[in-house]
Amino acid sequence: MTVKGMSDLDHTLYTDYPEFEFEYANKKEPDTLPPDKQTLIIGLDKRRIDGAPITYIMGFVGLRIDLRKIEDELQGVCHTCGSSKMYDIMLNGDVRKRAYVYLRSCGYKVKFAEN
């Protein structure tokens, strides 16, 4: 069954889904570089709503599925929850030292952000 007026699917569809990322949907993801060729930056920021500290990790180059694996491992090591958006990882709380030690042990080059 076809819906009248929906024969051409090249039109932009709008959604209220908060995690929908239209502008990145058609871009090809870069291949994941080995850990020794990546430099990650760890920094501390505050949440806008309540001012709670958030540790962010930037600079990852690779597939988002690999980023999710690193995020899950960091959440377990740092004993906190978090999320990832595009190529950044955000962890709740000030867990910069734990994240630094874990990422260095995995072979990544890690720097602290200049605040």
Do the domain assignments include residue 5? no
Residue numbers of the domain that contains 75: 30-112
- The pLDDT profile of the chain, 115 residues, written as one tens digit per residue, is 445 555 555 555 666 766 666 565 556 778 888 989 999 999 999 988 888 999 999 999 988 889 899 999 999 999 999 888 878 999 999 999 999 999 999 999 999 998 6
pLDDT at 1: 46
| Cα(16)–Cα(33) distance, integer angstroms | 34
pLDDT at 43: 94
- Radius of gyration, CA atoms only, the chain: 18
Of 12, 67, 5, 6, residue with least CA distance to 40: 67
Instruction: Describe the strand order of the beta sheet including 88-92 as a list of residue ranges.
Output: 82-85, 88-92, 53-58, 39-46, 109-112
Instruction: Give the distance from CA 27 to its chain's centroid.
Output: 16
Q: How many domains does the chain have?
A: 1
* pTM summary value: 0.71
Do the domain assignments include residue 45? yes
Do the domain assignments include residue 108? yes
pLDDT at 22: 57
Q: Can you give the CATH number for the domain in which 107 is found?
A: 3.30.780.10
Q: 86 - beta bridge partners? A: none
